[in-house]
Structure 1
Amino acid sequence: MALRVVFPTKSSGAADRCAREILETVPLVMRVVRAEMRRQGALVVSVPQFRALAFVERHPGVSLAGVAEHLGVTAPTASTIVDRLVRRGLVGRVPDPEERRRVVLSLTPAGGRLFARLRARARRQVATRLEGASAADLRKVTAALAVLDRLFREEARVIG
């Protein structure tokens, strides 16, 4: 018989149920957004490339390893994704002045313009879905997201 140790935490009860709902709902929302982008042919870049552009836009000067970690892929896979963006002139790659073996990434002006258009399109798609909600529900969602932002933003900033 295995011994199960339960450590008491504040996350019991309501917080645990809320965590479960978040972990089930956020991927669902993102899956629908990605499918809609593909269905409309909106992506002139792949979903992983879009995610890489978004990460580089938020973290100019990030390393390839940082992109790989964010995307949850290996360094060679991230390198392939970034190479395609570099060849298209959307991402710039320059040697890190402090560590010669490392490169740092940033969006080019063309990459910034394309990403802004793609992000605006994704935002419109989400807004279209949200139009089916009542004003009261939209206020609740907005308030809940503000709470999540407050609870997670600082740690997310620290970890990249």
Structure 2
Amino acid sequence: MDKDNNQLFQKFVAFSAAVHQITNDITKDVKSEALTPLQYKILEYIAVSQPVTLSEISECMQMSMPNTSRELKKLGEKGLCARVADPEDRRRQGITLSPAGGAMMNEAFARISVRFEQRIQAVTPEERKEIERALDLLQQKVFY
């Protein structure tokens, strides 16, 4: 790896670590007491990516398929997610939030949004646009 790419990589590693820390800070105490942190993370993933498959959740959460299935069963029993048949392949099932799960996540995201706004309150309108462009670029070129 050449020097420029190594510096970029080091910045990426530091950025990734900071993203995890900030995510923990702004999502602290937003989950329902009835959920484990893992169950909340699964619901969060479903909320932003639905419909998702069991294997997609398993891969994203770095869990075995049986453990993922067990956690989804618990979330289903709590009425927070549902399985839906793929209209193109009835054997495939997608997992979505139920209305109750959607309401729970909307409430959590509203609280997270307030914390996010507090973090960026000193950002100028020009800096907001620059941050948005940077996030778009990261999404298109790195996190695709």
Same fold at TM > 0.5: yes
Q: Give the 5 Å matches for 1:113-132.
A: 113-131=103-121
1:31 equivalent to 2:8? Answer no
What SS does the aligned partner of 1:81 have? helix
1:62 equivalent to 2:52? Answer yes
TM-score if structure 1 supplies the norm length?
Answer: 0.69
The amino acid of 2:31's aligned partner reads L
Unpaired segments of 5 or more residues in structure 2? none
Please provide the CA RMSD for this pair: 2.8
TM-score if structure 2 supplies the norm length?
Answer: 0.75
In structure 1, how many angstroms separate the alpha carbons of the residues matched to 2:131 and 2:110? 20
Match of 1:42 in 2: 30
Unpaired segments of 5 or more residues in structure 1? 1-5, 7-11
The amino acid of 1:53's aligned partner reads L
1:74 equivalent to 2:64? Answer yes
What SS does the aligned partner of 2:96 have? strand
**Could you tell me which of 148, 157, 160 is aligned with 2:138?**
148
Higher Rg of the two aligned structures:
1
Aligned identity (percent) is: 21
In structure 1, how many angstroms separate the alpha carbons of the residues matched to 2:127 and 2:16? 17
Q: Give the 5 Å matches for 1:6-17.
A: 12-17=2-7
CA gap of 1:138–1:62, structure 2 versus 1, over 3 A, is: closer
Question: Aligned residues, how many?
Answer: 140
Structure 1 residue runs of 4+, over 6 Å off?
A: none
